[in-house]
């Protein structure tokens, strides 16, 4: 009877499918190319299907069977990461340190209220906080410089992260109190298009409302930088309502009655799949969700 396939063979199968090269996987794993090829051949024999089309001098291509089994293999490896991570969390018990990274545009009050309650619930827990512009939170999680991340939904997050939706943040159309649009009544898209628009950067931003309406656009990587530019009358913008309500800005901005606005920002919690949340992090996640619902 043939030997049963194993997880190492599955990992090599997935890596070859993703890199489309036996030699590249061999170099990455510091194995002989023949060892990688043999492992895939044994996997094919155990499964009873051919996974790759092999032609001399050409990159390996997945067969129909390979395509069908690739997602199952990827999900099985993710489940194994979760199992290992949960076992480590159980072994550790309550985490001694919780490192939280958040998008700087996250509503201030729900975050502070949640951390205030965390201090009472886990009085001996050490906490490290970090804030950053778009993309920084995911990078900190992937680089193991944060345990828990708060950011706004976008499609292309790293595959090594898990996430859950916490709530949403309303977006509004605003300009400076002295801007020509401030007294225009109900504003059409055609009127908006005649004035400079301030947008979140970069060009491929995944924030809702990343596509310009105006032909003239200035971009920044921070909603708060956009607010400072807006107060000087340098353009109109779509901003989260809580940014507009910040005391420093409130008297200097006008919310426009616009016929179109971007959808709400969806706030999400994220963590590494191979390092599931400990008790304090899970508790904090629930408090974040509760306080975000309250302002929604």
pLDDT in tens, 68-109: 999 999 889 888 887 877 676 566 666 788 999 998 888 888
Distances (CA, A) of 19 to 8, 15, 120, 220: 16, 6, 48, 35
Q: How many residues does the chain have?
A: 296
For residue 216, what pLDDT is reported? Answer: 93
For 197-239, the pLDDT digits (tens) are: 999 875 455 565 567 888 899 998 888 899 999 999 999 999 9
pTM score, whole prediction: 0.64
For residue 210, what pLDDT is reported? Answer: 63
- In a 3-state reduction of DSSP, which class is residue 169? strand
Output the six-digit token pair for 256.
Answer: 């426009």
> If you average pLDDT over residues 158-180, what whole number do you get?
89
For residue 57, what pLDDT is reported? Answer: 64
CA 167, CA 155: separation in Å to the nearest integer?
Answer: 16
For residue 264, what pLDDT is reported? Answer: 86
> If you average pLDDT over residues 36-62, what whole number do you get?
86
| 10 and 18 Cβ atoms separated by less than 8 Å | no
For 128-164, the pLDDT digits (tens) are: 999 987 678 889 999 999 999 998 887 777 888 888 8
- Residue 294, pLDDT > 90, answer no
Alpha-carbon Rg for the chain, nearest whole angstrom, is 25
- 2 belongs to a structural domain: no
How many independent structural domains does the chain possess?
A: 3
Domain of residue 47 covers 7-90
- 253 belongs to a structural domain: yes
Domain boundary among 73, 90, 107: 90
Q: Do 144 and 107 lie in a common domain?
A: yes
Q: Do 154 and 211 lie in a common domain?
A: no
Q: At 126, phi and psi to the nearest 5? A: -90, 140
Q: Do 23 and 77 lie in a common domain?
A: yes
- 1 belongs to a structural domain: no
For residue 128, what pLDDT is reported? Answer: 95
Q: Do 132 and 149 lie in a common domain?
A: yes
How sure is the predictor about 3, in pLDDT bands with cuts at 50, 70 and 90?
Answer: low
Q: Do 136 and 253 lie in a common domain?
A: no
Q: At 265, phi and psi to the nearest 5? A: -75, 130
CA 121, CA 285: separation in Å to the nearest integer?
Answer: 13
Q: Do 175 and 252 lie in a common domain?
A: yes
- 215 belongs to a structural domain: yes
| 82 and 276 Cβ atoms separated by less than 8 Å | yes
Q: Do 136 and 277 lie in a common domain?
A: yes
Here the CATH number for the domain that contains residue 25 is 1.10.10.10
Nearest to 125 by CA among 82, 92, 163: 92
Q: Do 102 and 217 lie in a common domain?
A: no
Q: Do 156 and 185 lie in a common domain?
A: no
Q: Do 81 and 112 lie in a common domain?
A: no
Domain boundary among 74, 90, 106: 90
Q: Do 155 and 180 lie in a common domain?
A: no
Exposure on the CB side of residue 206, measured as CA atoms within 13 A: 12
Q: Do 141 and 252 lie in a common domain?
A: no
Here the CATH number for the domain that contains residue 218 is 3.40.190.290
| 231 and 179 Cβ atoms separated by less than 8 Å | no
For 241-271, the pLDDT digits (tens) are: 888 988 888 889 999 998 777 788 889 999 9
Here the CATH number for the domain that contains residue 103 is 3.40.190.10
Tokens 């989260």 belong to residue: 240
CA 149 to chain centre: 9
Taken in order 131, 135, 139, 141, the sign of the CA dihedral is positive
For residue 86, what pLDDT is reported? Answer: 65
For residue 203, what pLDDT is reported? Answer: 47
How sure is the predictor about 1, in pLDDT bands with cuts at 50, 70 and 90?
Answer: very low
């Amino acid at each position: 009877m043939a030997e049963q396939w194993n997880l190492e063979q599955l990992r090599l199968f997935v890596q070859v499918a993703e890199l489309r090269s036996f030699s590249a996987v061999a170099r990455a794993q510091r194995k002989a190319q023949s060892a990688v090829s043999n492992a895939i051949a044994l996997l094919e024999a155990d499964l009873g299907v051919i996974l790759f089309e092999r032609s001399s001098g050409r990159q390996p291509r997945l067969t129909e069977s390979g395509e069908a089994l690739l997602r199952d293999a990827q999900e099985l490896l993710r489940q194994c990461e979760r199992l290992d991570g949960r076992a480590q969390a159980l072994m550790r018990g309550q985490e001694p340190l919780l490192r939280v990274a958040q998008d700087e545009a996250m509503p201030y009050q729900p975050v502070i209220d949640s951390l205030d309650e965390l201090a009472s619930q886990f009085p001996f827990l050490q906490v490290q906080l970090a804030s950053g512009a778009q993309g920084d939170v995911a990078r900190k999680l992937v680089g193991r410089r944060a345990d828990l991340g708060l950011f706004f939904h976008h499609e292309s997050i790293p595959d090594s992260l898990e996430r859950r939706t916490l709530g949403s943040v309303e977006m509004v159309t605003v300009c400076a109190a002295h801007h020509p649009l401030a007294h225009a009544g109900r504003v059409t898209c055609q009127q908006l298009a005649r004035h400079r628009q301030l947008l979140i950067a970069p060009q491929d931003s995944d924030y809702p409302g990343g596509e310009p309406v105006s032909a003239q656009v200035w971009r920044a990587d921070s909603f708060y930088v956009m607010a400072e530019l807006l107060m000087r009358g340098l353009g109109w913008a779509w901003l989260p309502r809580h940014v507009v309500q910040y005391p420093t800005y409130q008297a200097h901005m006008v919310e426009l009655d616009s016929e179109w606005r971007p959808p709400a920002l969806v706030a999400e919690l994220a963590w590494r799949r191979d390092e599931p949340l400990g008790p304090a992090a899970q508790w904090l996640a629930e408090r974040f969700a509760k306080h975000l619902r309250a302002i929604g």
